[in-house]
Amino acid sequence: MEALVASAVAVLTACGVYLVLRRRTFPVILGLSLLSYAVNVFLFATGRLVQNMPPILSKYADATYTDPLPQALVLTAIVISFGMTALVVMIALGAFLSSDTDRINTTDTPESGDNA
């Protein structure tokens, strides 16, 4: 089970990094979303991967339990990543409407007629 979750985190991270390095805004937004999903799955996996165990530790139960702190962190991270994604989409939409392209400029070269 741990190997499956670790490989899922690795694939999500690799795909997210690949998309973040693109030159268009929409793949960058998708890449950031995939990276946040990878972090959420990683945080969730740190709370132990056991099935049918309570998220509390009591003296009557076994020593195996599910840690509730990573679950709370994942819930908080989901809300934050949703807000971040909405903000980035609005910024990208504003940039697209002002420049009529979704390309990301990585160089600041002057245009052909300018002598800066």
What integer pLDDT is reported at residue 31 of this predicted model?
93
Task: Indicate the angle between helix axes 2-20 and 25-45, nearest 10 degrees.
Answer: 160
Q: Which residue has the higher pLDDT, 48 or 97?
A: 97
- Indicate the pLDDT class of residue 100, thresholds 50, 70 and 90: confident
Digit-coded pLDDT (tens) for 35-82: 999 999 998 888 776 677 666 666 666 666 667 788 888 899 899 999
Q: What is the dihedral of CA 69, 66, 39, 73, to 10 degrees?
A: -20
